[in-house]
Structure 1
Amino acid sequence: MTKSKESLLEFPCRFPIKAMGRNHDDFESVVTEIVLRHAKMFPGEAVATKASGEGNFLSVTMTVEAQSQEQLDRIYNDLTESGRVLMAL
């Protein structure tokens, strides 16, 4: 495992990524495509979704095999630049 000077995480590691946006039919697939462009899902993990109380918003959580802080930064950058993701954690 390696520990980046800029990160408290040790890589590689299991890392959950959560993206929230308007609950449209394709939101889950948009988030999944962006995340999988950069990382593999952690074996045995599923994509989890949860709608807001009134159903207007959807959160999508994926656990990936993170290899570096730079990789995570690219994922978060692409999610926020998509115009579909309102918040990424």
Structure 2
Amino acid sequence: MKKLSMVVHESLQQTLADYLRSQKLDTFMFNHIEEHSSNLEKDSFLSARDKVVGYVPQVRLDIILSKDEIKSLLDNIRKSDCAFKGKGIYWITDIDEFGVL
């Protein structure tokens, strides 16, 4: 199993959730996070509020899938015209163990 993590601006959370549901993914987690960077003023996607307060409200998505499911999901995102395409980052990590307590 693998964990796919994605980070997008919090304004895109509902769009991302709707997209994942349309891909038949019904279990995923969002965490609210803040991005602090010296490059905020150069990001055209950010609001004036984000630039003034000095951090960007983001959401991080975590979803556990097989390697093939992650590849398929990322391929579908790249081929789509979804609103968050090109406006976030992702990474994949190995899961050594996964279970229910």
Unaligned ranges ≥5, structure 2? 37-53, 91-101
Which protein has greater RCO, CA pairs closer than 8 Å, 6+ apart? 2
Partner of 1:28 in structure 2? 13
Deviation at 1:74, TM superposition (A): 0.7
Distance 1:72 1:30 in 2: 16
Partner of 2:32 in structure 1? 49
Deviation at 1:31, TM superposition (A): 1.1
RMSD (CA atoms): 2.9
Q: Structure 1 pair 64/75, CA: closer, same or farther in 2 (3 Å)?
A: farther
Deviation at 1:33, TM superposition (A): 1.1
TM-score (norm 2): 0.46
When Rg is computed on C-alpha atoms for both structures, the one with the higher figure is 2
Quick check: 1:73 aligned with 2:64?
Answer: no
Contact 2:8-2:59 at 8 Å conserved across structures: yes
Quick check: which one's strand share is greater? Answer: 1
TM-score (norm 1): 0.50
Quick check: which one's helix share is greater? Answer: 2
Partner of 2:22 in structure 1? 37
Unaligned ranges ≥5, structure 1? 1-12
Distance 1:87 1:60 in 2: 10
Q: Structure 1 pair 47/30, CA: closer, same or farther in 2 (3 Å)?
A: same
